[in-house]
Amino acid sequence: MANDRVESSRPVESERPQHGVENSAREAYQRDASTAGANGSQSRESLSKPEHATPAQVNGDHIVFNPEQGGQEGDKAKVTKHTDTAGNTIEETKNVDGSGSRTTNRTDGSRGESQWDSKGNESGKEYDKDGRLTSEGKRDANGTSREVKYNEDGSSTTTSRKSDGTTNEHYKDGKGNGTSTTIGSEGTRNEFTYDNKGNESTKVFDENGKLTNEGSRRSDGSTTETQYHEDGSSKTTNISADGKNTQVNRDAQGNGDASQTRPDGVRSESRWDNKGNESGKEFDKNGKLTYEASRDADGSSTSTKYNSDGSTEKTHQEPDGTRTEETYDGKGNGKAKITRADGSRMESRWDKNGNESAKEFDSTGRLASEGSRNQDGDVTDKIYNQDGSTHTIHESANGTKHQVFDDGKGNGNMIKTNPDGTRQENAWQKNGSESIKSYDKFGNLVGHGELAAIDAQAKRK
């Protein structure tokens, strides 16, 4: 996880002193050297640095301590003390093993301290007139160095270097927020930020400045890490505060897939391509499909919900706005509804025995037609015209066909066609009169009759 890299780049918190002002340790070293030089040639001779003591290096600058050889040769420590022309007091101790120290007390009340040993290790500190530490630094014989600058606002900047050339700069604002940048010897870079709320993030760049990894950890415990590969693809892993693990893979062409696993075992998957097509599925903790959906580049979409009782709910949307909703109970029964962009719709039902029915409504909600088919194979269709007339067609499973026309004003006719091709036509008027005609299978009239209105009414009774 990105946090391993994050934490490794973050300086140790205990390195922060409890003081904070303005000057750097480098300035202390330089100031010590300058005050020693200001005392004349005799002072320079008495304060020269032993040959085996190396200059301190802070931020790449060589700082000469300039401790001079003073007093007579012997096996005891040599202590020299003098005041330069500016009134600064310089006290230096030099041991016979090559180690030593120097303290410079300046007229403005500030103070600089430096130390070195016979092995080439050096350190220094700088204090302001109130005794507050403003900077400190050290350099080891192996080439590693560290410098800290403390500002009046409580912030600080720490610069560290390793012998292999790796550098790190760590800034703290004094309020728990900070940034840290590490540059490797080969030019790689690691950037780390954090705040006082527990949020932190990191970015890693290769020697060419290309981002290869980034990650974050938030105060709620959630984390995100993204790896960027040379072929342009990437992989992102996100763990939410409640334990959801989400992984997203993308290629350089705009295609990708994602998956998410919850702590309870529920899982979801999705895919997409650079043409605008996408799909997704969800599974319960037992791996059973509970939901799936897809969206095509043309704008059409389909989704299906699978319920635990075996029922399903399916919705399909066409680019023109037509919407289809289907429900199955898992036992062979179901219903469907198709709604079009103009507001017209069709509703249908069916059962496990093979019975089905449908109704069609126009954009105003008026019933325009309906039909049904029963389990025996009988089919009935009825059309409702806007003028009030209707046309009904009924076909029996045995082949008998009835057609009924009704003008909605009391007039109508019926045509019955038998399986053998013979047919009978009945017509009636709103005044109650009727006529009957019979035809053989060749269409020849074989019978004709009429009933007056009174007779027709009596016959109906």
Structural domains in the chain, CATH included, are: 21-150 (no CATH), 376-461 (2.40.128)
Contact between 101 and 117 (Cβ < 8 Å): no
Closest CA to 80 of 123, 42, 130, 137: 42
pTM above 0.75, yes or no: no
Confidence of residue 450 (pLDDT cuts 50, 70, 90): confident
* pLDDT the model gives residue 449: 87
413 vs 403: CA distance, rounded Å: 8
Closest CA to 34 of 84, 102, 80, 91: 84
397 vs 354: CA distance, rounded Å: 13
* pLDDT the model gives residue 76: 75
Contact between 182 and 164 (Cβ < 8 Å): no
Average pLDDT of span 142-167: 96
Average pLDDT of span 102-116: 97
Average pLDDT of span 374-397: 96
Residue-wise pLDDT for 406-436, tens only, equals 999 999 999 999 999 999 999 999 998 999 9
DSSP letters spanning 185-244: TTS-EEEEEE-TTS-EEEEEE-TTS-EEEEEEE-TTS-EEEEEE-TTS-EEEEEE-TT--
Decide if pLDDT at 252 tops 80: yes
Confidence of residue 25 (pLDDT cuts 50, 70, 90): very low
135 vs 145: CA distance, rounded Å: 14
Confidence of residue 3 (pLDDT cuts 50, 70, 90): very low
Mean pLDDT over each residue of the chain, to the nearest integer = 85
Residue-wise pLDDT for 319-354, tens only, equals 999 999 999 999 999 999 999 999 999 999 999 999
* pLDDT the model gives residue 178: 98
* pLDDT the model gives residue 188: 97
Residue-wise pLDDT for 176-233, tens only, equals 999 999 999 999 999 999 999 999 999 999 999 999 999 999 999 999 999 999 999 9
Contact between 226 and 211 (Cβ < 8 Å): no
90 vs 85: CA distance, rounded Å: 11
Distance of CA 41 to the CA centre of its chain: 69
**SS3 state at 33:** helix
111 vs 133: CA distance, rounded Å: 9
